[in-house]
Structure 1
Amino acid sequence: MTQSVEGVASDAGQWSSGGQLERDLVLTDADFTKIRQLIYERAGIVLAEHKREMVYSRLAKRLRHHGMTRFGDYLARLERYPEAREWQAFTNALTTNLTAFFREAHHFPLLADHVRDRREPVRIWSAAASTGEEPYSIAMTLMETLGSRASNASVLGTDIDTDALERARAGIYPVEQVNKLDAERIRRFFQRGRGRHEGLARLRPEVSNLVEFHSLNLLAPQWPPVKGPFDAIFCRNIMIYFDKQTQARILERFAPLLKPDGLLFAGHSENFSYITDVFRLRGQTVYTLAKRG
């Protein structure tokens, strides 16, 4: 999720005539350390020291929502009620959703080649579905590649951010975002809004019906909505938020969920080769299961 400079400034406080930021909320060093600890325990996300301004900006809304002025009071409330819904709001606020249709475009022709000749139903998992652009791009690729056989295919989209998943389920996007696709894909896969929906585009039902969304924390001991085996797993641009120990644990859990010839797609800045020997590099940020024995 991107945010403008103006949005950050309005969340973080007011600028004084001397150019210094005047905060209306109190975030101490101890509070920031506690936030880093809690989001790591809750979601495996490693927040670097330089993320302090981002943390202030994103959580400030939650404090104001509850009429609080001190981060310490907010954190104490979270810890006092470990099952409270506010934990999800806390996690959503600190989750970054940066995505686009057919992002890292070289992966989709590889997926098409991988499934083209399959006769059994194709199943794909998007493990960081965010607001839906990735799983819907997968669904469009399956429709283009499989033709009528795509009606038996399925895409599972999961994410820890429940707000992002609500937007994903809606399948409605700004026209300027959709217009980055080629004209044929826009015509085939989208409906343009009119009247009060002017400026928006909605995915056609034949696309959205292929995708099922579920909330999932990759650190959870069980993954109820995830039932393999999958022809491919997309886990792109999320591992960078985890430490190597967490990355290795997740990769090892992926392995039994893939078909023997299944593909694992990683993000452009991610390299799994030095994390685990369960997978081997097949091509540019694409992995297959390593042969054992």
Structure 2
Amino acid sequence: MSLVAADALPGEFAFTDADFEALARLARSEFGLSLAVSKKPLVYSRLARRLRARGLGSFRDYMALLDLESESAERLELVSALTTNVTSFFREKHHFETLCEALIPELGLQRRVRIWSAGCSSGQEPFSIAMTLLNFLPPGTRDTRILATDIDPAILRKARQGRYAAEDCETVPADYRHRWLRPVAGEPEMVETGPDLRALISFAELNLICDWPFNGPFDAIFCRNVAIYFDQETQQRLWTRFSGMLRAGGFLFIGHSERLSGPALAEFTTAGVTTYRKRASHGPSRPT
């Protein structure tokens, strides 16, 4: 008869409270993820796959593996397993309405437009932004760029491909589909984004709690359903850092279950549902 620690979850691998606490500390220190004790069964089910994939016999062995400097790729597998990449084209439609009605009329007067999709997942968000800009910005707005970042290199590879199941594109307005999406040769059930959209977007790997290798300023930042994985302290620090990246009057769009809090409240004014605008008294960063 094998002995299993009394606080272990039943299953293929022993998963003690000490194992969970060690994983939670690593997830928070490296990625800002907040793992409540109530998440223990979920963490087990998500990470048991990684133990099988690496041929490991216990969560203690997995923690030892994660400690190795050579296992940076496995640490990214960890964060990918603990988070959920759920997205869609034109998700939270009210944000795109604000983009069209409140921000784009201002952007049309500029020669330089910068928007950041922070936590871009498989790319539907930045491609939705790109379609909106191409449809509404005046032709003279030449210097337009969208930065799309995510921590997960695997999901970024999918985003760069810009290929999606046709049924997943039903939320794209029909005229947009005709102009900027096209069938994939030999795969009738798939569509891909056209070159005009791709030309606007730069995809890059980025851990939001680490240093950011750019300065801005951005006209808008979309960071939706990312901060829900962080504890309150990390969230508040992120909101403040976003403020420093926005020009005065710039917009911050966050997820439907997220709310701005902490010191950043003094730097923003509410501009709609989960939509905030940087106050004019807080000046922009210097352009790069």
Same fold? TM cut 0.5: yes
Give identity over the alignment, percent: 42
Q: How does 1:121-140 map to 2 (within 5 A)?
A: 121-140=112-131
Instruction: Give the equivalent residue in structure 1 for 2:199.
Output: 209
- In structure 2, what is the Cα distance between the partners aligned to 1:35 and 1:72? 10
Q: Is the 8 A contact 1:112 1:141 kept in 2?
A: yes
Q: How does 1:154-233 map to 2 (within 5 A)?
A: 154-195=145-186, 197-220=187-210, 222-224=211-213, 226-233=214-221
SS at match of 1:199: strand
Q: How does 1:252-291 map to 2 (within 5 A)?
A: 252-273=240-261, 276=264, 277-291=266-280
> What is the identity, as a one-letter code, of the residue corresponding to 1:209?
A
Instruction: Give the equivalent residue in structure 1 for 2:109.
Output: 118
- 4+ aligned runs moved over 4 Å, structure 1: none
Q: Is the 8 A contact 1:273 1:280 kept in 2?
A: no
Q: Is the 8 A contact 2:111 2:140 kept in 1?
A: no
* Offset of residue 147 of structure 1: 4.7
> What is the identity, as a one-letter code, of the residue corresponding to 2:230?
F
- In structure 2, what is the Cα distance between the partners aligned to 1:22 and 1:263? 47
**Aligned length, in residue pairs:** 270
- In structure 2, what is the Cα distance between the partners aligned to 1:179 and 1:286? 25
Instruction: Give the equivalent residue in structure 2 for 1:59.
Output: 47
SS at match of 1:69: coil
Aligned pair in 2 of structure 1 residues 275, 173: CA closer, same or farther (>3 Å)?
farther
1:109 maps to which of 97, 115, 129: 97
Instruction: Give the equivalent residue in structure 2 for 1:41.
Output: 29
> What is the identity, as a one-letter code, of the residue corresponding to 2:52?
R
Unaligned runs of 5+ in 1: 1-20
Q: How does 1:90-101 map to 2 (within 5 A)?
A: 90-101=78-89
TM-score (norm 1): 0.85
- In structure 2, what is the Cα distance between the partners aligned to 1:265 and 1:63? 37
- In structure 2, what is the Cα distance between the partners aligned to 1:136 and 1:210? 9
Q: Deviations over 1:130-159 (max 9, x none)?
A: 111111111011011115346531100011
User: More deviation in 28-37 or 122-131?
Assistant: 28-37
> What is the identity, as a one-letter code, of the residue corresponding to 2:198?
S
Unaligned runs of 5+ in 2: 1-8, 283-288
- In structure 2, what is the Cα distance between the partners aligned to 1:133 and 1:125? 13
> What is the identity, as a one-letter code, of the residue corresponding to 1:164?
I
Q: Deviations over 1:162-203 (max 9, x none)?
A: 1111111110011110123232121111111242x2311100
